[in-house]
Structure 1
Amino acid sequence: MSGYDYTGKVMLVTGGAGGIGSALCRRFAIGGAVCVVVDIDGERARRVADSLPGAGHLGLGCDLLDRAGVADLFEQVTAAFGRLDVLVNNVGMTSTERFDVRTVETIEREIDLNMISPLVATRLAVPLLRASADPRVVTTVSLAGIFPQGETPIYAASKFGLRGAMLSIALDLGAKGIRVGSVLPSATDTPMLRREAVDGGNSLQFQDPPQQPSDVVAAVVSLLDRPRLEAYPRVGESLLVRFSMLMPNLLPKLLPLFRKRGERGLARYLEDLRRRGLARQVDGRWELVKEA
């Protein structure tokens, strides 16, 4: 079976200037695709687009929580290309602030960005996707869409909802010619994870060293090569969390068994960030070093 042919394909990536998003855009462009790099920071989006091999790439700034802005985004894609072959819903955020002290506004914002905005983007992209000969939607979910995260429950809630929605949308749109699938990464070495690490986020996700953006890219590529509902960068981890969720009432007893290992893994990750010049300790507290 031949792999997916990127040549001339129009591929839009939200969160496209981030660690995973920019790696996806580069892989697509190397294959011959034309990329639409979408990020809330328009200048960063344009820099990523300008750095990609090939020609015709667009870097567009868009706040995905601004409904009118999202509608305008797809109008710009319509004007430039007249179609969209692949939509990659990759944008996401998290917070280490505990649930009992968070404001309602931050809860709503995280849910809106992680879960609602991919649904809105997918719906508004449908007319452009229907103009493609082989339309696809790929969404970056997370293993947190299967397994609860005590320290980051809003992130888990948004990903649980997003996973369910994308599975359902896949069943609906698949019958109408638009293939929909999701990738479910575990902890990935990106600026978002580094921020979570220095802020004391969920230690359970550091059972093993974080994967790299390239691992997520490989999962997306496999999903394009062989369309299916879900793909996992680390299959072993996905099997473990799915098995654990067969017995959710045992979680209060099982999680403490893994927490110490996770805390050791977090300490190793922080030391790795220090060695790479990405984090430092000041007065006993970790903080990120601003990257040039």
Structure 2
Amino acid sequence: MSGFDFSDKVMLVTGGAGGIGSALCRRFAEGGARCVVVDIDEIRAGKVAAELPGAGHTGVGCDLMERAEVERLFELVADSCGRLDVLVNNVGMTSAERFDVRSVESIEREITLNLISPLIATRIAIPLLKASRDARVVTTVSLGGIFPLGETPIYTASKFGLRGAMLAIGLDLRSKGILAGSVLPSATDTRMLRQEAVDGGNSMQFQDRPQQPADVVAAVVSLLDKPRLEAYPRPGESRLVRLAMLVPNLLPRILPLFRKRGDRGMARYLDELRHRGLAQQTNGRWELVEEA
């Protein structure tokens, strides 16, 4: 049995129509929570909300990079619920485009969405969180917030920053009645990872088979059950990357030892996606097959 009582909790999830976000909303709703499903795609957010068990769920379209929209989002929560018990910062993006050829605009966009938008959303949500008797903030970071991913330095930068910020926020808000913590998953089988794989992104994250959204959900629930600053879906991986970061100057020597294994893992993942009908190879190039 879960130690955290989901009953009648108001729980808002950003990126709520994605693989991890929708799985989180389902788990929360099954426990009796009222979910606010937030996504840039309003139609998908509404569809996820409509299919959740229980009642009182809402799907909201919101561009989290637009402060006015974020302010309207929390005004809506204030008007309809009067409080917010749990804020889950789950939105994120990445790109396989290499740093030396990326546009400055794409760099700004990724940093804004991954790092700045969760901080702004958390800050604007503070009054609603203070209206709760058991306020929580949970943020999906990444093991990329500990370990540098050479092919995706902007993602790495945003997640390093987000991890540090959320550690500091967790320390600061604890004495003010709000418990904040983060989950740091490794590669997770979502549309974002599938897109990165077909685009030839960072193969280092395929050392092992990608975990499932359910694994991230379990880590979030464990964080709610036992509040702490960080939780890891795969603790063994977290220990390995933290150990490697004790000697960062050795990374240029260490990483090539794992490259071939990662390349093989990504090839297996792409083949698995093909068998699942989620990817196809055309003229030697991989591409996603959009789900119905």
Query: What TM-score do the two structures reach when normalised by structure 1?
Result: 0.99
Quote the residue 2:84 is aligned against.
Answer: 84
Query: Is structure 2 residue 174 aligned with structure 1 residue 168?
Result: no
Query: Is structure 2 residue 189 aligned with structure 1 residue 189?
Result: yes
Q: In the TM superposition, what is the alpha-carbon distance from 1:2 to its structure 2 partner?
A: 6.2
Residue identity matched to 1:165: A
Percent of pairs identical after alignment? Answer: 77
Quote the residue 2:151 is aligned against.
Answer: 151
Query: Is structure 2 residue 213 aligned with structure 1 residue 233?
Result: no
- 1: CA distance between counterparts of 2:221 and 2:208? 23
- 1: CA distance between counterparts of 2:84 and 2:289? 38
Residue identity matched to 1:270: L
Alpha-carbon distance change, 202 to 2 in structure 1, aligned in 2, over 3 angstroms: closer
- 1: CA distance between counterparts of 2:111 and 2:193? 18
Quote the residue 2:21 is aligned against.
Answer: 21
Q: In the TM superposition, what is the alpha-carbon distance from 1:175 to its structure 2 partner?
A: 1.2
Post-superposition Cα deviations, 1:43-93, rounded to whole Å, max 9, x if no partner, equal: 100000000000000000000001000000000000000000000000000
Residue identity matched to 1:126: I
1:77-156, aligned counterparts within 5 Å?
Answer: 77-156=77-156
Query: Is structure 2 residue 64 aligned with structure 1 residue 64?
Result: yes
Residue identity matched to 2:250: L
Question: Could you say what secondary structure the match of 1:181 adopts?
Answer: strand
Query: What TM-score do the two structures reach when normalised by structure 2?
Result: 0.99
Give structure 2 stretches of 5+ with no counterpart.
none
- 1: CA distance between counterparts of 2:5 and 2:291? 35
Question: Could you say what secondary structure the match of 1:7 adopts?
Answer: coil
Question: Could you say what secondary structure the match of 2:281 adopts?
Answer: strand
Query: Is structure 2 residue 274 aligned with structure 1 residue 274?
Result: yes
Residue identity matched to 1:93: M
Q: In the TM superposition, what is the alpha-carbon distance from 1:290 to its structure 2 partner?
A: 1.2
Post-superposition Cα deviations, 1:197-254, rounded to whole Å, max 9, x if no partner, equal: 0000000000000000000000000000000000000000000000000000000000
- 2: CA distance between counterparts of 1:156 and 1:92? 12
Question: Could you say what secondary structure the match of 2:87 adopts?
Answer: strand
Post-superposition Cα deviations, 1:73-118, rounded to whole Å, max 9, x if no partner, equal: 0000000000000000000000000000001110000000000000
- 1: CA distance between counterparts of 2:233 and 2:5? 21
Post-superposition Cα deviations, 1:104-134, rounded to whole Å, max 9, x if no partner, equal: 1100000000000000000000000000000
Q: In the TM superposition, what is the alpha-carbon distance from 1:29 to its structure 2 partner?
A: 0.1
Alpha-carbon distance change, 247 to 56 in structure 1, aligned in 2, over 3 angstroms: same
- 1: CA distance between counterparts of 2:207 and 2:141? 19
Alpha-carbon distance change, 2 to 44 in structure 1, aligned in 2, over 3 angstroms: closer
Question: Could you say what secondary structure the match of 1:281 adopts?
Answer: strand
CA RMSD of aligned residues (A): 0.7
Moved over 2 A (4+): none
Q: In the TM superposition, what is the alpha-carbon distance from 1:21 to its structure 2 partner?
A: 0.1
Residue identity matched to 1:219: A
- 1: CA distance between counterparts of 2:63 and 2:2? 37
